[in-house]
Amino acid sequence: MLYKSNGFFLVELLLSLSVWLVLTLFLLPMYIQVSKQSLNTQYSREATKLLYDSLQEAILTGNVQDGLTVQRKGRSFTVTKVMSGQEVCVRYEDAFKKETLICDILQ
């Protein structure tokens, strides 16, 4: 019975390869997106930590180091003080190459 099924293996092989190809085409971009979002979360956490460290330093010493650039996790984070003097911001570039600014008010 098996000797009369010429070409059946080739059809099965092509069908399974096409299923793998479709799955790869859908899942690979989603995996890349999720991994970049994970990096963005790490960068945001680092920026927030740096922001609150700067705010704590400003409360204790009375001044903020304006223009301070810190290298963490392979990214540059820049601490700046806004013109009013009561707001401190951290600027960094996220995984999507978009510049992000996180600010908080000094109280």
Q: What is the pLDDT of residues 61-72, one digit of tens each?
A: 878 778 889 998
Report the predicted TM-score, pTM, of the whole model to 2 decimal places: 0.74
Spatial distance between the Cα atoms of 57 and 64, rounded to a whole number of angstroms: 7
Please write the tens of the pLDDT for every residue from 5-18. Answer: 665 677 888 999 99
**Which residue from 88, 76, 79 is spatially nearest to 43, judged by alpha carbons?**
76
Domain extents for the chain? 9-105
